[in-house]
């Protein structure tokens, strides 16, 4: 069980702060304990059963884990997914997002970025599926990194570039 004030990843809502834990009446008038959560980057409130197995929930990573992830970015091999059906592409991207792993989200963003660069070199347009999953993965990954690094979400890419640059030099 999480505590009030803790930050968690909650499904595709991303980073949420638990603001309260109360008893509420849920489906079929059954009373149960619920988390009240405030997503960090969206303007709504989430009420989730404490005993919820339907929506993925985990604690956010630590600052040390975030730095370790960023430091290993130069060693991550980007995989450009080509020659597969649109359905297979969506399944592959969706499976990586659904792990809720920062490593997988980083791998996914790097792979789609590499694919985008290849499209630009070949004067081709980037697919809508690639764009959609790039945005989704970046939103989730950068949101979590921003919270643990205590920086604005829009500054995460510059932080990563600066950190990687200092490691490479």
Compute the distance between CA of residue 104 and CA of residue 83 in angstroms, rounded to an integer: 21
Cβ atoms within 10 Å of 16's Cβ, excluding its own: 28
Q: Hey, what are 44's tokens?
A: 């709504």
Judge contact between 137 and 108, C-beta under 8 A. Answer: yes
pLDDT one-digit tens code per residue, 8-25: 999 999 999 999 999 988
Measured CA to CA in angstroms, residue 53 lies from 64, 78, 135 at distances of: 28, 32, 26
Question: Chain centroid to CA 110: how far?
Answer: 13
List the domains of the chain with CATH numbers. Answer: 7-59 (2.40.10), 63-168 (1.20.58.1290)
Q: Please report the DSSP string for 143-155 in residue order.
A: HHHHHHHTS-GGG
Low-confidence ranges of the chain (pLDDT < 50): 168-169
Q: Which pTM does this prediction carry?
A: 0.89
Question: Chain centroid to CA 53: how far?
Answer: 19
Residue with tokens 């919270």: 147
Judge contact between 16 and 8, C-beta under 8 A. Answer: yes
Judge contact between 6 and 59, C-beta under 8 A. Answer: yes
């Amino acid at each position: 069980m999480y505590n009030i004030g803790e930050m968690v990843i909650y499904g595709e809502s991303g980073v949420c702060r638990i603001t309260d834990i109360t008893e509420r009446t849920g489906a079929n008038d059954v009373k149960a304990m619920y988390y009240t959560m405030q997503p960090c980057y969206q303007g709504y409130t989430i009420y989730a059963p404490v005993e919820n197995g339907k929506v993925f929930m985990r604690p956010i990573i630590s600052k040390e884990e975030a730095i370790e992830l960023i430091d290993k970015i130069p060693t991550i091999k980007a995989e450009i997914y080509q020659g597969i059906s649109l359905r297979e592409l969506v399944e592959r991207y969706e499976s990586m997002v659904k792990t809720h792993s920062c490593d997988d989200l980083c791998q996914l963003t790097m792979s789609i970025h590499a694919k985008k660069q290849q499209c630009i070199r070949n004067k081709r347009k980037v697919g809508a599926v690639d764009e959609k999953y790039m945005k989704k993965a970046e939103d989730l990954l950068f949101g979590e990194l921003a919270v643990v690094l205590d920086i604005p979400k829009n500054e995460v890419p510059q932080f990563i570039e600066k950190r990687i640059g200092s490691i490479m030099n």
